[in-house]
Chains A and B, each alone.
Chain A
Amino acid sequence: MTPKDLQDPTSDADVAPDGERRGSLSRRAFLKTAAVTTGAVGVVATTATPAAASGMVPESDPDELAREHADDPGLLIDITRCVGCARCVRACKLDNDLEWRQDQPATGVDAALASSNWSVVRAVGLETMQDSRLGPRRRIARRYVKEQCMHCLEPACASACFVAALHKSEEGPVLYDGERCVGCRYCLMACPFGVPTFEWDETFGRVQKCDFCAERTAEGDPTACAEACEQGAVTFGRRGELLTEAWSRIAADERYVHHVYGEREVGGTSIMYISDVPFEELGLPTDLPTDPLPTYTWEVSRILPPFAAGFTVTIMALYARRQRVVREREEAEAKAGEEVDAR
Chain B
Amino acid sequence: MRPRATPWSPTRRRWTFKMTPFRGVMLAILGLAVVILGYRFVVGLGAVTNLTDQWAWSFWTWWKLSAVALAGAGYATMFMIYFMGRERYRDVERGAFVVSMLGYLMLCCALLIDLGQWYNAYRPIYNWGYHSVMFELFWCVGSYTVVLVIEFFIIFEERVPWNPLHAVLKKIHAPLLLLACFLPVFHQSALVGLYVITKGRLDPLWWSQLLPVYAVMTFFYIGPAVVMLENVIANRVYGRPVHMKIISDMFPVAALVMFMYLVLRLADYAVRGVFDELLSGSLYANLALIELGIGVALPMVMFANRELRTSRRSMVVASLLAVGGIWLFRFNVTMAGLVESIGVGWYRPHWMETVVVLGLASGVALAYLFIVENFPIYTPEDVAASEAAVAEATARAKAADVRPKVGVLPVEHVKELERTGSSR
A197 interfacial by beta-carbon distance below 8 Å: yes
Stretch at the interface among B122-130, B219-227, B286-294, B401-409: B122-130
A325 interfacial by beta-carbon distance below 8 Å: yes
With A1-B6, A6-B5, A294-B197 known to touch, is A163 a contact of B178 (CB < 8 Å)?
A: no
Does B44 lie within 8 Å of A318, measured CB to CB?
Answer: no
A15 interfacial by beta-carbon distance below 8 Å: yes
Does A206 lie within 8 Å of B5, measured CB to CB?
Answer: no
Which A residues are CB-close (under 8 A) to B130?
Answer: 51, 56
CA separation between A202 and B134, bound complex, in Å? 23
With A37-B175, A113-B53, A300-B196 known to touch, is A203 a contact of B182 (CB < 8 Å)?
A: no
CA separation between A160 and B57, bound complex, in Å? 14
With A23-B3, A185-B57, A200-B45 known to touch, is A205 a contact of B129 (CB < 8 Å)?
A: no
B72 interfacial by beta-carbon distance below 8 Å: no
Residue-by-residue, is A280-312 near B (CB-CB < 8 Å gives 1, otherwise 0)?
Answer: 000001011100011011111100100010011
Chain A interfacial residues counted at CB < 8 A: 85
Residue-by-residue, is B204-237 near A (CB-CB < 8 Å gives 1, otherwise 0)?
Answer: 0000010010000000000000000000000000
With A160-B134, A194-B53 known to touch, is A203 a contact of B87 (CB < 8 Å)?
A: no
With A13-B4, A51-B130 known to touch, is A296 a contact of B197 (CB < 8 Å)?
A: yes
Query: Contact partner of A192 among B195, B201, B424, CB < 8 A?
Result: B201
Which B residues are CB-close (under 8 A) to A185?
Answer: 56-57, 116
Query: Contact partner of A183 among B88, B118, B199, CB < 8 A?
Result: B118
Does A297 lie within 8 Å of B2, measured CB to CB?
Answer: no
CA separation between A7 and B42, bound complex, in Å? 57
CB distance from A285 to the nearest CB of B (A): 8
A-B contact count (CB 8 A): 224
B17 interfacial by beta-carbon distance below 8 Å: no
Does B115 lie within 8 Å of A183, measured CB to CB?
Answer: yes
Residue-by-residue, is B374-386 near A (CB-CB < 8 Å gives 1, otherwise 0)?
Answer: 0000001000000
Which B residues are CB-close (under 8 A) to A165?
Answer: 127, 129
Can you add 18 more A-B contacts, CB < 8 Å, to A13-B4, A183-B116, A203-B42?
A1-B5, A7-B424, A15-B5, A16-B3, A17-B6, A23-B173, A25-B173, A162-B137, A180-B127, A182-B121, A182-B124, A183-B115, A198-B45, A198-B53, A204-B118, A294-B131, A311-B182, A319-B83
Where the two chains meet, the residues of B that have a C-beta atom closer than 8 Å to any C-beta of A are: 2-7, 41-47, 51-54, 56-57, 82-85, 87-88, 90, 114-121, 123-124, 127-138, 170, 173-175, 177-178, 181-182, 185-186, 193-201, 209, 212, 341, 380, 421-422, 424
Where the two chains meet, the residues of A that have a C-beta atom closer than 8 Å to any C-beta of B are: 1-3, 5-7, 9-17, 22-25, 29-30, 33, 36-37, 51, 56, 58, 112-114, 156, 159-165, 180-186, 188-190, 192, 194, 196-207, 285, 287-289, 293-294, 296-301, 304, 308, 311-312, 315-316, 318-319, 321-322, 325
